[in-house]
Structure 1
């Protein structure tokens, strides 16, 4: 009897130990299950994703900030260039206005005349001043057809030209006078009647305001002109001084 009771107690003890072992095993399984809870894993994944997203957002923000800084630099450079262009444009416009004013104020002088419709002039027994009576151009009114004188209105350099025609036997000639001084002598001899004879000459003269230029037919010489305007006298102001 004692032996049976002992065996029963021994079995009960073994069962208790097994139950404790199973309980311990279940505890470990529960702990493992708790550590590998899907909800917890999802939260960790979400947290990691959030951290990664936040990092990416900051990276993009820094990149955008750098772009904005670079754009601001470009805008400042463009504004400076635009300011420089406006300054140069304003300067050019001022210079253009100044040139237009100077051009408007600059005297305009040009004339073109022909001698006469009367045919032959000369030969005479004295020098005579040629009066080119047919005026086609007289800008500035510096040429006077009544006297045959061109008067320089301003100090400057002038271009003057004349053409002389004749077809009568003898000499055709023209002298050029500046004020009362002869500065050019031109003469051609025609040996036969009805043979056309021409010569042309030109001058570039520095004149002061009031200087006079006129052409003279010398003694014993002749010149011819008619409606065809063979003999002419012209000039213009090249530039002022």
Structure 2
């Protein structure tokens, strides 16, 4: 039992009263011997003392080895603590970078959401424009079709228009009977519906026609004209001349005519009209639209 206590003292106090030397001098052995001599000694104790003396150097070697191991462990512990602190610094830095990355990701997510909203709005506007464009294309096609129809109708529509003047001879009349006025100076005769040899305008197609005449007089006489449709008198215009100056009257009609209907102007008996190179007396007409 005393040997065990001596070993414990050696292990617990390698640097206490053992300041005597690294090799474990007489002081350390003396303390053990003194401790062992404190009680009564017998033959067994003497044998134990001899065994202790023999094993003490080995114990000190083990103690020194343990101490060296502890020192190495302390050094390694300090190194590990330094590495842990370095690792903690790296971890903190990574945490900071992670936070920054999260903020950046959140910002990118917000920007992405805004872009998605804008993209959705653009897509909606694009669809609206496409629908509007399709509607415009449909309307354009319809308009083009109508234009084609109108062009075809216009191409098929007969074109009728004439403009004439009476004569360059001066006074015409008075006569004892009514005569048909033959407007011999033809300026326009689209459709060749007016015949200057007879003074008759013949409607080439069914339709509504606009007809106009101007009558000039130079003598102190009545000036007048009859407007006939076939043999039907449609209009009578006259005016009394009071002096030698020229005088005029003008009138017009809109008539529905069938193809073949004839229009002409007659000079009543005892009346006179005047015309010369200035074309004072004229007769004109045109097709407004066919029926």
Q: TM-score range by the shorter chain?
A: 0.7 to 0.9
Cα pair distance change 1:111/1:17, threshold 3 Å: farther
Segments of 5+ residues of structure 2 without an aligned counterpart are 1-5, 17-62
* Residue pairs, 1:165-176, within 5 angstroms: 165-176=216-227
Tell me: CA distance 1:76–1:128, structure 2 relative to 1, closer, same or farther (3 Å). same
Unaligned 5+ runs, structure 1: 1-7
2:97 is the alignment partner of 1:46: no
Deviation at 1:67, TM superposition (A): 5.7
Larger Rg: 2
* Residue pairs, 1:21-60, within 5 angstroms: 26=74, 30=78, 33=81, 36-43=84-91, 45-46=93-94, 49=97, 53=101, 56=105, 59=109
The 10-residue stretch of structure 1 (50-59 or 83-92) with the greater mean CA deviation from structure 2: 50-59
Give the secondary-structure state (helix, strand or coil) at the position aligned to 2:134.
helix
* Change over 3 Å in CA distance of 1:217–1:14 after alignment to 2: same
- Secondary structure at the residue paired with 2:182? coil
1:160 deviates by: 1.3
Alignment partners' CA distance in 1, 2:132 and 2:15 = 94
- In the alignment, the residues of structure 1 paired with residue 7 and residue 218 of structure 2 have an alpha-carbon distance, to the nearest angstrom, of 173
**Are residue 125 (structure 1) and residue 123 (structure 2) matched?**
no
Distance, in Å, in 1 between the alignment partners of 2:124 and 2:83 is 55
Q: Identify, as 1 or 2, the structure richer in helix.
A: 2
Give per-residue Cα distances to partners, 1:97-123, cap 9 Å, x unaligned.
Answer: 222222222222211111112222221
Q: Which residue of 1 aligns with 2:139?
A: 88
**1:199 and 2:249 aligned:** yes
| Match runs of 1:1-16 below 5 Å | 12=10, 14-15=12-13
Residues in 2 aligned to 1:125 and 1:115: alpha-carbon distance in whole angstroms: 20
Match of 2:259? 209
- Determine if the alignment matches structure 1 residue 225 to structure 2 residue 275: yes
For residues 195 and 10 of structure 1, the distance between their equivalents in structure 2, rounded to whole angstroms, comes to 166
What is the Cα deviation at residue 191 of structure 1?
A: 4.1
Deviations 1:132-156 (Å, cap 9, x if unpaired)?
0100111121111111111122222
| Per-residue Cα deviation, 1:191-224 (whole angstroms, up to 9, x for no partner) | 45x3323211111222222221100011111112
Distance 1:41 1:240, change over 3 A: same
Q: Give 3-state SS (helix, strand or coil) of 2:238's partner.
A: strand
Query: TM-score of the superposition, structure 2-length normalised?
Result: 0.66
Q: What is the RMSD of the two structures over their aligned residues, measured on CA atoms?
A: 3.9
TM-score using structure 1 length: 0.78
> What SS does the corresponding residue of 2:13 show, helix, strand or coil?
helix
Cα distance per residue 1:41-74 (max 9 Å; x no partner):
4156436635863781873795488369625444
| 2:160–2:193 contact (8 Å) kept in structure 1 | yes
Instruction: Quote how far apart the aligned CAs of 1:26 are.
Output: 4.7
